[in-house]
Amino acid sequence: MRIVFIADSHAKGPDDQSQKQLSRFLEALSNNPPERLVILGDLFDFWIGTSGFIYYRYLPVLAPLLKLRKLGTEITYLEGNHDFSLGPFFTEFLGADVHPDSTELSLDGKRIFLSHGDIVDRSVRYRLWRGFLRSPFSKALVMMLPAWVLFRIASSLSRKSRTYRESAPHVEKALKDFAMELAKSGYDGCVMAHSHMASIETFKNNGKNFTYSNAGSFGNDGAYITYENGAFRLERYSA
């Protein structure tokens, strides 16, 4: 069994170097397709609802994803804080298993928790903001707004993401604290993202091993995680 986990590419459009690298990576995967591709959110810098504008900007990524699916790769998508309400391309064309918050996989008899990771922010302010963005009102608004307005919203969210990186160590600590709770709940491991800090760590909980994995940011340094032969492995892609 071979599974590839990727997150936080923050692809912005056809001229974006990060998106070009992501497209090359997905094309390279088709030479040796994994059994499953798990996308842990924020693959795109802006995807809310469905519109022709969104599909057009990300066509160089969507095409190799469809190719992988046709080659037999199952796709699991954990929505992030930049890409959600993914719509029919992922659910119908790709037949992807889409989850707004979290899910779990059974890997060689072990329970592995999956999430983008923004759900660890339990502040009332963030929960209200998160709920608003995912509301039917927001989805309808995206359908009605012209492309240039959507682009400005996307640029604004991208700027917020850049300032957010300063708090990455704090976010990573929150993720690891959350992982400790998962260990106490009977999970054997987790794979998350959100902090842009790639790592794989194993710690003991009541004499039992728990593996914390963070897929990091593919957009920053090509980081991704592979699960194969019963173990998680951190890798980096360079075209």
Write out pLDDT tens, residues 17-51.
Answer: 999 999 999 999 999 999 999 999 999 988 877 66
More reliable by pLDDT, 229 or 137: 229
Question: Quick one: residue 5, left, alpha or beta (phi over 0 = left, psi -120 to 50 = alpha)?
Answer: beta
Kindly calculate the radius of gyration of the chain based on its CA atoms and give it in whole angstroms. Answer: 17
**In the sheet where 2-6 sits, what is the strand order?**
97-99, 74-78, 36-39, 2-6, 223-228, 231-236
d(CA 146, CA 68): 32
Mean pLDDT of 126-143: 72
Residue 195 in this model has a pLDDT that exceeds 60: yes
d(CA 154, CA 205): 41
pLDDT score for 125: 82
d(CA 135, CA 43): 21
46-55, 56-65, 121-130: least confidently modelled range: 46-55
- H and E: helices and strands count for the chain: 9, 13
Q: Are 75 and 36 in contact (CB under 8 A)?
A: yes
CA atoms within 13 A on the CB side of 201: 16
- Closest to 193 (Cα-Cα) out of 48, 15, 43, 65: 43
3-state secondary structure of 77: strand
pLDDT in tens, 199-214: 999 998 888 999 999 9
Q: Are 114 and 192 in contact (CB under 8 A)?
A: yes
- Closest to 237 (Cα-Cα) out of 222, 221, 227: 222
Residue 166 in this model has a pLDDT that exceeds 60: no
The structure's pTM equals 0.89
- Closest to 3 (Cα-Cα) out of 220, 213, 238, 227: 227
Which DSSP letter does residue 171 get? H
Confidence of residue 122 (pLDDT cuts 50, 70, 90): confident
Residue 164 in this model has a pLDDT that exceeds 60: no
27-41, 151-165, 182-196, 204-218: least confidently modelled range: 151-165
d(CA 64, CA 85): 21
The helix (H) or strand (E) run that includes residue 182 is: helix 168-184
